[in-house]
Structure 1
Amino acid sequence: MTYENKESEHQASEDLTAENSTSDTAISETLVSEPLAEEAAPFLAIMNEKFDFDKRTLLDAALVIESEITGLYINKFEDSLRLQQLVIKSKLAAFESSNKEKLLALLDILYQQQGFEGDWKAFFKVKNALISQVFSRRKGIPISLGILLLDFLKLCDFEAKGICFPSGFVICVHLENEVLYVDPFLGEIVSWELLELKVRGQLGNHAKLTLDMLKPDSHEAIIKRYINVLKAAYIQAERTELALLCSDILLRLNPEDAFEVRDRGFLFQQLDCLSLARDDFEYFMQHHPKDPMVHILQKQIQDMNFDAQVIH
């Protein structure tokens, strides 16, 4: 089976879909137009240091985070996702093994036929980080698109893992005789040379691509990076309370992370919760007394006007 034969495969899949009285176009329109996450949900926090990342997919974990932060159900998204899975399964049914041709066909379905793409114009927007919005808009950033793509790769029986690469999230796909790397922002297989160019663009012209940079990361490490990206998006959008919630989730996963405590202190400071900000700054200084930030934090505390602070 070759990638060049995909037209006949797609035609057979469309015939199969037509027999079930549901066209691919109709399903795609449903996926795009169906409103997502409209119903209010109880504010239940389950993402913490006891969360079992080994038994949950990255997509599961990301949706747990989204549900908590937005306070909304994601059941409609899950219904749309199941429809999408049916479309992909039917279109790739002719492939007998998970090989390079099947991988290229999957990328073609998602990025060419269905229009998934990286959003260059609004890279740091919240809508490009929240998974349900990325799915409905067909636009996102490397880590949000990557989490979705990893789920589709698993659906299609590929052995694939995520990498927190210096320049952005990358996926490695293990085939029978080779390992391929996919850029989820572009929807393309990328070469070693292109990966090295990305490293130089991020770390400087003298940086070299190493095998250590291409080691897969754990689900927990990827989710922590995802939450940090989401936190940065909320900060840029000046939605400090939601950025603070992201920080709280990170500290539930690692309560002793003094650097995250420090960052939470800055968020408290923006919200005029000065006593809480001072406590976080002092916690950081106690644990990292020689850090260059200590002098800045001391000055921040000196400049705080506790008489004028907002009571929360």
Structure 2
Amino acid sequence: MKYDKTVLYREMESFYLTTTEDEGDDLRTVRSMMGGLVRKARKAIPAEDNVKEKIHKLLQLMYGDWGFYCDRETYFRAENLYLSYVLRTKQGMPVSLGCILLYLAEKLDLPIYPVLFPTQLILRADVEGETAFIDPWNGNYVSRDDLQKLYQGAFGFGATLTAEDLAIADPKELTERFAQLAKSTLIREELNSAALKYIESRLRWKKIVNKSEDPYERRDRGLVLAQMGAYHAAVEDLQFFVEHCPDDPTAYMLMAQLPEMKKEISGELLN
């Protein structure tokens, strides 16, 4: 079965529709801009070029001619998760720039795929039995030795990178990784309303697919509700998570925090 490289793009579209008040007007603009990039790429990359040359030229187009980049000063901002912002400013984070590059690869039929590397999204190009890794931060090729150093930076000296760490990402795991990044970014910036909308949409969808509630989504909703001061509803969600995932490291922290939240509820009732 052909790997669908637009899975991440569709999840980012869903994120945009769920977390904004816009009813799709800007989404039409995004789709038009993405289509424009596809047309420019097809015009600039000769059909007779070999696959390696096409990939090189696509990277040059995106990061050179078109000027897409990541800014370390604004790397973690929520705006970098919205394709409308990224396409207009040419600024994003690895997941959003990687999303655009994967979309173009799908339309140009180029063998570029996502890798769920521990520190950030990495891309891999598989051509004629060889694999090259691409950093969507800047479009540069990155060696396996460099990836090993990044891996040790994340997990400590002596940690060994495996083939599984560099495998093509499972589409479901890819969208889950994006969702976790999106939720944590919104929560950190206290964009609670947007975070709540996104989490509740995922709760509804997972309940339909799995026929049960996802305790991790309940946990995340509880954290947002607590941040909003809705302690009664927050306690219900967090208690649900602790009961269903008692061995999770987060559960131990929540066990210590829940009594304080219950005190807040008691204080509200007394007042």
For the criterion TM > 0.5, the same-fold answer is yes
What is aligned with 1:208?
Answer: 160
Aligned AA (2:240): Y
Superposed displacement of residue 66, structure 1: 0.8
* 1:77 to 2:30 alignment: yes
* Structure 1 pair 159–68 and aligned structure 2 pair: CA distance change class (3 A): same
Q: Please point out which of 52, 67, 72 is paired with 1:120.
A: 72
Contact residue 228 and residue 246 of structure 1 kept, 8 A = no
Aligned AA (2:12): A
How many corresponding residue pairs?
257
Distance 2:151 2:129 in 1: 26
Aligned AA (1:66): Y
Contact residue 129 and residue 229 of structure 1 kept, 8 A = no
* 1:90 to 2:47 alignment: no
Superposed displacement of residue 308, structure 1: 5.6
Distance 2:153 2:35 in 1: 38
**Percent of paired sites with the same residue:** 26
Encode CA deviations 1:156-180: one digit per residue, 9 max, x unaligned. Answer: 2112221111111011222123122
* 1:274 to 2:231 alignment: yes
What is aligned with 2:265?
Answer: 306
Distance 1:298 1:57 in 2: 37
How well do the aligned residues superpose, as a CA RMSD in angstroms? Answer: 2.3
Matching of residues 19-58 of structure 1 within 5 Å = 57-58=7-8
Q: Please point out which of 238, 242, 247 is paired with 1:285.
A: 242
* Residue ranges of structure 2 left out of the alignment (5+ in a row): 208-212
Aligned AA (1:123): Y
What is aligned with 2:210?
Answer: none
What is aligned with 1:6?
Answer: none
Superposed displacement of residue 291, structure 1: 4.2
Q: TM-score, normalised by structure 1?
A: 0.75
* Structure 1 pair 270–220 and aligned structure 2 pair: CA distance change class (3 A): same
Encode CA deviations 1:258-280: one digit per residue, 9 max, x unaligned. Answer: 23322221211111212211111
Moved more, 57-66 or 83-92: 57-66
* Structure 1 pair 143–292 and aligned structure 2 pair: CA distance change class (3 A): closer
Distance 2:104 2:56 in 1: 13
Distance 1:248 1:77 in 2: 25
Contact residue 113 and residue 125 of structure 2 kept, 8 A = yes
Distance 2:138 2:122 in 1: 10
- Name the structure where helix makes up a greater proportion of residues: 2
* Residue ranges of structure 1 left out of the alignment (5+ in a row): 1-52
* Structure 1 pair 280–237 and aligned structure 2 pair: CA distance change class (3 A): same
Q: TM-score, normalised by structure 2?
A: 0.86
Distance 1:171 1:110 in 2: 14
Q: Secondary structure at the match of 1:238?
A: coil
